[in-house]
Amino acid sequence: MRVLVDTRRSVCGTAWLLATVLAGLAGWAAAEDRARPAASISLAEGVRTRCLDVLRAGIRSSEFWPAMHAAEGLTLAGYGGEVRSCLNPKLETEQDDRHRCGLARELVRAGDLSKVAVMLDVLAKQDSYGHVHACESLFKCFRSGDGRRLRAAMRRTDSPTLQMMAAAALGRCGSPEAKMLLREKLKSDDHEVQRIAAWVLGAIGDASDIPQIRMNVKRTSDPLARAFGEHALAQLGDPEGREALLRNLRSGDPAVRTYAANAAGEARVAGAADALIALLDDPEPDAQIRAAQSLLTLVQAAESAPEADFSRDVYPATKQNPRYTEGSVIELNDGTLLFAVSEFAGSGADHATAQIIARSSTDGGRTWGEPRVLQENVGKQNVMSVTLRRLSPAANGPAPIGMFYLVKNGPDSLEVHLRISNDETRTFGEPIRVTDRPGYHVMNNDRVTVLSTGRLLAPIAATESLRKNHFVSSCCLSDDGGRTWRYGRGQVALPKRGAMEPEVVELLDGRVLMVVRNQLGTISAAWSEDGSDTWSQPGELPDIQAPEAPATLRRIPATGDLLLVWNNTYTPGIGHGGRRTPLAAAISRDDGRTWQNFRNLESRQDEQYAYTSLTFVRDRAVLSYYVADGKTGFHSSRFRSVPVAWFYSASQTSADGGLVVRTEPS
């Protein structure tokens, strides 16, 4: 199938790749580094009703792709539930992989993130029939999974369209390498390649892409190719591109009109309203659908330019609750963020009374709802140190969520427990004890790892008693989704206080890397070749200094690189080997053998930062960590959202050396 060539023969039939899409709710298509015009319109009630009538008729159309465009429009207008009711039965019976990707992506945009698995499964098939559609759909709904399949597709130089659509999905999720590939393709002499690159960069590029797109527009004589470039320019805020888009809305070519109708909403061209209203009666059904979608989009208040980096003190400490620490953040199936934390009462000591509470955000972490109790105190002292994780995938619907936590009964008894939720954390099942041996078992917050095999790893540092205070690290393993657990056969041991607060990550070659806190001024490391059952003799991460404090290590889905977050300091002879500031980050492109891109996330000297959680949502690294006030001794818990691209970019620091952010109480 020739992509981006035969569209004028059938606008409805092949518009699956050409039509520029509003990439989901909450402005997913907006590039982080460009502002959008703050234009909006008002519609007469009769026009709004007409728009909805067009979309509701369209979603029932026998033409598949226009029906998907109508579904997109209804979702953007706030009718996601209606879309899910209509499309879920179709997905259950659909056999065509390209159509399955279309249905899945619209269900994701309508609020069912579990359908990302459909697109990833199609991409994993040996039969390449649906691969481009899978990549395009992942791009449109701002998802990458773990990134492995997309990165493999981006290496497919024998299939430029597949390569570029994989790069589109990865670039939207923060990969600088993917954007670089698209910018190289924009310079191609192949007009088909140029068109795809311009279409994608119109959605995820920035002003630096305007000169090359302008040049391409001037060089082409094909009206459709020119329109693609003009619409990309309009999306990037170029005045000439916006004027051209307005002309294209009245083009005699139905394909050009259709793509212009879609781009008018994407670029927020309020001056297009009259032409869009006229297109509601266009003889081309897909032009009607796109016009209705853009009109309903333009009615909505324009987004303000998104904050590149922001943080919120979601749990500010008080005299009554002087410590909020050891948090974990998870994205629920509808896109809500849930941030759980240990809430201590009366005292900030490790043995003080504590419970697990959580707050939710429906806007990416900018605002937060009221707290609710996830786990009441069932220990003789407290419950603390929460991890929220998706467990083994379910056959249908979202995977269950595990809530891991510690039950502290005294200096000789600390246990790891798990409760499983099958309804997106509304309720949890009965506790499952992960550690069934006597002793004191420490598992840090946000630590459980799910291997590509489905095995769950709970990394634990254990000692007979805090009175002995010497730890060895190992993993508890589950191969049945967390229902039963066993101890790994091997352990990692170190001198002094030993191997503390382990973290594990799966390497690209299938081995598992464990990093542990120590009293040696480094981050110790050990490797397993059997899924964390046994471990090598410990070494250390090269060129990394560290106090006696935990480190967090995760793989960035969009790039495949490892991201380390830790306290980049060490002063021998001071308690814990130094203060827990700065909170730093570094990247490894070779699975931990070397490190670069050292940057400070936080570096105030009157505060300390530790016990980080880290996950990735769309194109952002989402973190939490405690902030210890040097004056009061209070520990608040901070939410932090940073674009993945920041970890690869040149430093932007404040006077004290930290990242420039805006921190506000929730």
Of the candidates 540, 630, 622, the one whose C-alpha atom is nearest the C-alpha of residue 580 is 630
At 406, phi and psi to the nearest 5?
Answer: -100, 140
- β-pair type (524-528, 456-463): unpaired
Across the range 577-582, mean pLDDT stands at 96
Calculate what percentage of the chain has a pLDDT beyond 90. Answer: 87
Q: What does each C-alpha distance from 501 to 112, 142, 537, 551 come to in angstroms?
A: 35, 34, 17, 8
Residue 99: both structure tokens together: 């159509």
For residues 25 and 541, the model is more confident at 541
Across the range 645-665, mean pLDDT stands at 55
Calculate what percentage of the chain has a pLDDT beyond 70. Answer: 90
At 228, which helix (H) or strand (E)?
A: helix 223-235
CA quadruple 296, 302, 307, 313: dihedral sign: negative
Give the 3-state secondary structure of 25-88: HHHCCCCCCCCCCCCCCCCCHHHHHHHHHHHHHHHCCCCHHHHHHHHHHHHHCCCHHHHHHHHH
For residues 487 and 224, the model is more confident at 487
> What is the CB neighbour count within 10 angstroms for residue 593?
10
Q: Where do runs of H (alpha helix) occur along 353-496?
A: none
At 559, which helix (H) or strand (E)?
A: none
User: Residue 41 has what pLDDT?
Assistant: 86
Angle formed by the axes of helices 97-109 and 64-76, to 10°?
Answer: 10
What average pLDDT does the structure give for the chain?
91
Of the candidates 496, 438, 445, the one whose C-alpha atom is nearest the C-alpha of residue 472 is 496
pLDDT over 80 at 34, yes or no: no
DSSP secondary structure, 103-170, as one string: HHHHHHHTT-GGGHHHHHHHHHSSSGGGHHHHHHHHHHTT--TTSHHHHHHHT-TT-HHHHHHHHHHH
User: Residue 24 has what pLDDT?
Assistant: 37
The predicted-structure confidence for 594-627, as pLDDT tens digits, reads as follows 999 999 999 999 999 999 999 999 999 999 999 9
Count Cβ atoms within 10 A of the Cβ of residue 301 and give its class: 0-12 exposed, 13-18 middle, 19 or more buried: exposed
What number of residues does the chain have? 666
> What is the CB neighbour count within 10 angstroms for residue 663?
13
pLDDT over 60 at 458, yes or no: yes
* Termini Cα distance of the chain: 51
User: Residue 637 has what pLDDT?
Assistant: 98
pLDDT class of 306 with cuts at 50, 70, 90 = low
pLDDT over 70 at 370, yes or no: yes
The predicted-structure confidence for 227-254, as pLDDT tens digits, reads as follows 999 999 999 999 999 999 999 999 999 9
The predicted-structure confidence for 159-213, as pLDDT tens digits, reads as follows 999 999 999 999 999 999 999 999 999 999 998 999 999 999 999 999 999 999 9
Cis, peptide link before residue 89, omega less than 30° from 0: no
* Residue owning tokens 């194109």: 619
At 228, phi and psi to the nearest 5?
Answer: -60, -45
Across the range 453-478, mean pLDDT stands at 96
Lowest-confidence range among 155-159, 365-369, 509-513, 657-661? 657-661
> What is the CB neighbour count within 10 angstroms for residue 180?
12
